[in-house]
Chains A and B, each alone.
Chain A
Amino acid sequence: MSTPTTIFSAELAARLDRLVTLYPVKRSALIPMLLYAQDEIGYCSDAVVAEAAVRVGITELDVRNVLSYYSMLRQKPLGKFHIQVCTNISCMLRGGYEILEHCQHKLGVHENKGVTPDGLFSVEEVECIGACCWAPAVQVNYDYVEDVTPASMDAAIDKYRQLARPQ
């Protein structure tokens, strides 16, 4: 099924057109669809929810019901670079909370999921991200930053700041 009007790029729209055909039921595509949409739009906006509902053939309410369950799916925009600091047991033992505090101080973001005024960074305390043997660990969007120290965290933040500069 091709959706006549779409809020997504042609590339993503084509990917989602195909995604719903891969499963025995269209609804199976919902969770990856929301995640890929969020990657492009920045969050699961009302428009994302509306289009996902049409694409998989369920109500918007059903989409929201699923959306609210998954911790990676968000209903408001976050920073362009979302810094997710793991503080779970293995990371905590090796300084995860210090890294969280360091990021909060450095960026002046003190509430969980807070965003810097320029919209570039946000900081979130997250549960285990599967990097226990390389702790403490952080994910910036989907990139892993492991064996983090305050200095290497600063370097990573600077790197992403550079990436955001217009070329």
Chain B
Amino acid sequence: MYLVSHPDEVKVISFRFGQGAEQIDKYIELGGYEQARRAIDMGPEAIINEVKASNLRGRGGAGFPTGLKWSFVPKGMDRPKYILVNGDESEPGTCKDRPICEYDPHSIIEGTIIAGLAVGAKQGFIYMRGEYRYLLDIMDKCIADAYAKGFLGKNIFGIEGLDFDCMSHSGAGAYEVGEESALMESLEGKRGVPRIRPPFPAVVGLYGGPTVINNVETIASVPHVLRLGGAEYAKIGTDRNGGTRLFGISGHVEKPGVYELPMGYSLRKAIYEVAGGIKGGKKLKAVVPGGSSTPVLKADEIDVGMDFDQLAKAGTMLGSAGIVVLDETVSIVEFALRTIKFYQHESCGWCIPCREGTDWLKKTITRVYQGNGVSKDLDNIKYLAENMMGRTFCPLGDAAAMPTIGFITKFRDEFEAFLSENPPTPGLVLQQAPNLVQLAAH
């Protein structure tokens, strides 16, 4: 991993990147832990009001208002409350939490303390995906340093009776565990299958206690919300979409990387200016704007501001802000196949529409791509995907169905080409990884 930079960036969450802030003394020198200290004096209500005013919305993908989520935690309950930080970053196209964990890990700990103060929790867990072992090691050192300074543990910041503990936890490879209820199951040492809601985690969560679950980027934004003030933070973004986001721009661009841009920044400018345009001067074919689960945009649909509401209006989602750029040479059918292959692999199997739906979608798209499809297959793909929507305990079913519907609707001609008498030659996925065909045959 390496850092990139562009003049249009607004560095709020990334302002300490590359300055050695993983060392606690450097972090403190750059203003670190001041907001956690200040939050103690502010008290729960003022913290939550500040976060509400900031229009900070969940950076994991769903975009739920963070302050509102915190306010759902019942006050004065006997059961222990928990803060659970979701670092199970696994959505294809998404690698934005990695730089935070590597370059500004203390901001995650500080955000966790502030969240704990806001809802009355005494324990925080930072769940990292198993593949991020080097980040887990960084986080463990940072947590130990924060304990040594008295920012964690008993009587934090020297205040008698104020305790807050925090620890990291390693996953072991599962996309589904990034879903909040499956995340709790996994932390409880079980298979990562989702829970039915209600009750929502804010009331009955981890170990049965009220639990706030926030993405790494969300929780790391919290100290900055307090630093700037909610109203100032909100002003950086657009209406109801406060602040900045770390946009991971990948695929066929000249300068891929993680860039911090204000909410509502133009998708076209992000691709053509910030990321340096299409690689090798080729033409743009399509963009997946917010991680692999978000519906595709065609080349003429990218004049849109990147916030939760504008992208929803454009028929897609901001999601995890992982922008994947496809040039004119990409076969959409192949891309759709690779996408559904992922969701079929990651479906936990708990809900039948997702378990069976992802498998049949993969088989049907594979058949089309092999040149063995029939015209009814295209309608079946759409029909199958549409009937998965909203019929599962967690959003994985939707995450598989939505992009599939996008591909088959917007690029139907490419699917039809594979049904013709002279179908295009299948590319990389089938030629270079024959195991996919074997898998599809199962």
Given A87-B433, A98-B432, A127-B345, A132:B189 Cβ within 8 A: no
Beyond A73-B173, A130-B95, A144-B1, whether A27 also contacts B324 by CB under 8 A is no
Which of A4-12, A88-96, A157-165 contacts the other chain? A88-96
A49 within 8 A of B: no
Distance A144 CA – B134 CA, assembled complex (angstroms)? 9
**Residue numbers in B under 8 Å from A72 (CB-CB):** 130-131, 172-173
Q: Kindly state whether residue A154 has any CB partner on chain B within 8 Å.
A: no
Residues from chain B with a CB closer than 8 A to the CB of A71 are: 172-174
Q: Considering the chains assembled together, what is the distance between the CA atoms of A128 and B399 in angstroms?
A: 15
User: Contact between B330 and A130 (Cβ–Cβ < 8 Å)?
Assistant: no
Distance A161 CA – B348 CA, assembled complex (angstroms): 37
**B 276-288 binary contact with A (CB < 8 Å = 1; else 0):** 0000000000001
- The count of residues in chain A whose C-beta lies closer than 8 Å to any C-beta of chain B is 47
- Nearest residue (CB) in A for B343 is A127
Tell whether, in the assembled complex, residue A66 and residue B131 are in contact, meaning their CB atoms are under 8 Å apart.
no
| Shortest CB distance A143–B (Å) | 8
- Contact segment of B252-260, B305-313, B371-379: B252-260
Q: Are B167 and A22 in contact (CB under 8 A)?
A: yes
- Asked if A60 lies at the interface with its beta carbon under 8 angstroms from chain B, I say no
Contact of B174 among A69, A101, A144 (CB under 8 A): A69
Chain B residue with the shortest CB-CB distance to A56 = B189
Task: Indicate if the CB atoms of B250 and A90 lie closer than 8 Å.
Answer: yes
What number of A-B contacts does a CB cutoff of 8 Å give?
158
Q: With the chains together, A12 CA to B94 CA distance in Å?
A: 33
Query: Is B393 located at the chain interface by the 8 A CB criterion?
Result: no
A142 contacts B134, CB within 8 Å?
yes
| B257 close to A133 (CB less than 8 A) | yes
User: Given the complex, which residues of B lie within 8 Å of A65, measured CB to CB?
Assistant: 191
User: Which residues on A sit within 8 Å (CB–CB) of B264?
Assistant: none
Query: Judging by beta carbons under 8 Å apart, are B342 and A128 in contact?
Result: yes
Given A29-B189, A89-B92, A132-B93, verify A97-B429 contact (CB < 8 Å).
Answer: yes
- Taking a contact as CB atoms closer than 8 A, the residue among B80, B173, B322, B429 that contacts A70 in the complex is B173
Contact call B258/A133, Cβ cutoff below 8 A: yes
Say whether B131 contacts A135, CB under 8 Å: no
Interface set, chain B 155-172, CB cutoff 8 A to A? 167, 169-172
Residue A131, interface by CB 8 Å: yes
Residue A46, interface by CB 8 Å? no
User: In whole angstroms, what is the CA distance A29 to B130 when docked?
Assistant: 14
B251 adjacent to A94 (CB under 8 Å): yes
Which residues 135-167 of A have a CB within 8 angstroms of B? 135, 139, 142-144, 146
The reply on B133 being an interface residue by CB < 8 A is yes
Q: What are the residues of chain B within 8 A of A132 when measuring CB–CB?
A: 92-95, 248, 250, 256, 322, 324
Determine whether the beta carbon of B288 is less than 8 Å from that of A30: no
Contact A89 B93 (CB under 8 A): yes
Q: How far is the CA of A56 from the CA of B190 in the complex (A)?
A: 12
Asked whether A88 and B130 contact (CB < 8 A) given A69-B191, A97-B429, the answer is no
A residues 64-107 touching B (CB-CB < 8 Å): 65-66, 69-73, 87-90, 92-94, 97-98, 100-101
- Asked whether A125 is an interface residue with its Cβ less than 8 Å from the other chain, the reply is yes
B15 in contact (CB, < 8 A): no
Contact B433 A25 (CB under 8 A): no
Residue of B nearest to A130 (CB): B95
Q: Is B324 in contact with A69, judged by CB distance below 8 angstroms?
A: no
Taking CB atoms, residues of chain A closer than 8 Å to B130 are: 35, 70, 72
**Do A90 and B92 form a contact, CB below 8 Å, given A31-B170, A35-B170, A100-B433?**
yes
Assess the A133–B95 pair: CB atoms within 8 A. yes
Instruction: State in angstroms the CA–CA spacing of A72 and B192 once bound together.
Output: 14
A40: CB under 8 A from chain B? Answer: no
Interface flags, A23-61, vs B, CB<8A=1, else 0: 011011111101100000000000000000000100000
- Docked CA distance A93–B279 (Å): 11
The reply to whether the CB of B69 lies closer than 8 angstroms to some CB of chain A is no
- Closest A residue to B177 by beta carbon equals A70
Note all chain A residues with C-beta closer than 8 A to B338: 87-89, 92
For the complex formed, measure the closest distance between the CB of B173 and the CB atoms of chain A, giving whole angstroms. Answer: 3
Find chain B residues with CB under 8 A from A35 CB.
Answer: 130, 170, 172
Top 5 closest pairs, chain A to chain B, by CB: A72-B173, A27-B189, A71-B173, A30-B189, A70-B172
Given A32-B169, A132-B93, 13 more A-B residue pairs with CB atoms under 8 Å apart are: A27-B190, A32-B170, A70-B171, A87-B338, A88-B92, A88-B338, A93-B324, A101-B433, A127-B342, A128-B93, A128-B94, A130-B98, A131-B95
* 27 contacts across the A-B interface (CB closer than 8 A): A25-B207, A29-B189, A66-B190, A69-B348, A70-B130, A70-B192, A87-B433, A88-B342, A89-B92, A89-B339, A97-B432, A112-B435, A125-B433, A127-B342, A129-B131, A130-B97, A130-B98, A130-B131, A132-B92, A132-B324, A133-B1, A133-B249, A133-B256, A134-B95, A139-B131, A142-B133, A142-B134
Q: What residues make up the interface of B, taking CB atoms closer than 8 Å to A?
A: 1-2, 80, 89-95, 97-98, 129-134, 167, 169-175, 186-192, 207, 248-252, 256-258, 288, 292, 322, 324, 326, 330, 335, 338-339, 342, 345-346, 348, 428-429, 432-433, 435
